[in-house]
Amino acid sequence: MNKSPFRIAIAGLGTVGGGVVKALTARGEELSRRAGRELKLVSVSARDPRKARGYALTGWTADPLELARGEADVVVELIGGDEGIARDLVTLALKNGKHVVTANKALLARHGTELAELAESRGVTLKFEAAAAGGIPILKALREGLIAQPIEAVKGILNGTCNYILTEMESSGRSFAAVLKEAQARGYAEADPTLDVGGGDTAHKLALLSSLAFGTRPDLDSISVEGIEHITPDDIAYAREFGFRIKLLGVTRRVGEGIEQKVHPSMVRQRSPLANVDGAQNGVMVDAGAAGSFFFSGRGAGETPTASAVIADIVEAASETPSPVFGRPARSLTRLVPADAKAAVSPWYLRFEVLDVPGVLALIAGHLAEAGVSIESMIQRGRDPGEPVAIVMITHETAQANVERALKAIAASDKVRSRPCMIPMEAA
């Protein structure tokens, strides 16, 4: 065993940071043997030194930036955010020749290329397995395991909050708002859930998966993002009738000469592995071309799985020669060429809330036909007199732009009572 200890500094002692400290305390000897040298926690920094945490604060430091100037060999950044103190800390640590381990997907989605170039120029490691899908080793698989054949696509359920809400809506028949309120009360959703339910958190993670899969610079701005706020219990029930479940997916794939990146609710066939990822779990499907398809699932958040991913990165940083951050030298990462999202072709689920009057179905069918959208199947049910009725359709494969053009014309009718709903159907 290397006689020199590997000195660790941790910034941020929330759920994940606390889990890392507990793991180092409980399993320090075993983890040190795996690393080939002693793993030694030498300093920590967090907002409140007086908070009861259930463990000692080793080497408390009020200013997180001091961790990057101190004796540590690796700085573990668990503060979060793509700017401010988190970015300053990671940048300073790398400049000072310290390894960095982080779970900060927002930081890397925005600044991953420049931070990777900095780490590689200083000959140190920047590791971030915990930044996407918690304890699932998907980043390692894309960086090191699935490299023999070109990756064609990566599709994933990457946000446990959204998956929990959709699962509960399906099992209970309750509305999005009601289930969200319960999720907040149980700690599954933040007080401000916008980043989760609006798809932003999934987009951060997808930017990293896309970079590793295709050798491109993380490009958050080219991701098309749609959340789950508009999904209704009726949509979920109709999906079940057609043999599908609704999941919020992050999808990145080759389309011609470009890369499509999108976050959106999707209809997934009930027999698909992704359809059977329930509750707060995460799941990722990788299409590795000639090598076949691979599926990864597990807990995507929480103290133990995420801390486990951080610990694994610390052990690797202590025992390995630094390697390219994104699997390729940062300077060789190419600019991502976005595929035309409007040209994306798939079957679509369409739901219309309309007045139950003669001619309304003909109006809808007419606009769809004019846009080149053909219907595979349909459900129409009556309601109480005077109440709007739902017309639900599944289309044949059609370009997104055609469907949107038809829905814009349909929505302009005074017979349509709310914005039409369109959800793509993923072959997953």
Active-site annotation holder among 205, 262, 342, 408: 205
Please report the sign of the dihedral spanned by the C-alpha atoms of residue 274, residue 312, residue 149, residue 253.
Answer: positive
**How many angstroms separate the CA atoms of 167 and 281, rounded?**
10
- In degrees and rounded to multiples of 5, residue 257 shows phi and psi of -90, 0
Tokens of 37: 């040298």
> Which residue is associated with the tokens 């793993």?
39
Q: Is-catalytic flag, 205?
A: yes
Select from 272, 140, 150 the least CA-distant residue to 209: 140
Tokens of 140: 């390692």
**How many angstroms separate the CA atoms of 153 and 251, rounded?**
7
Which residues carry out catalysis?
205
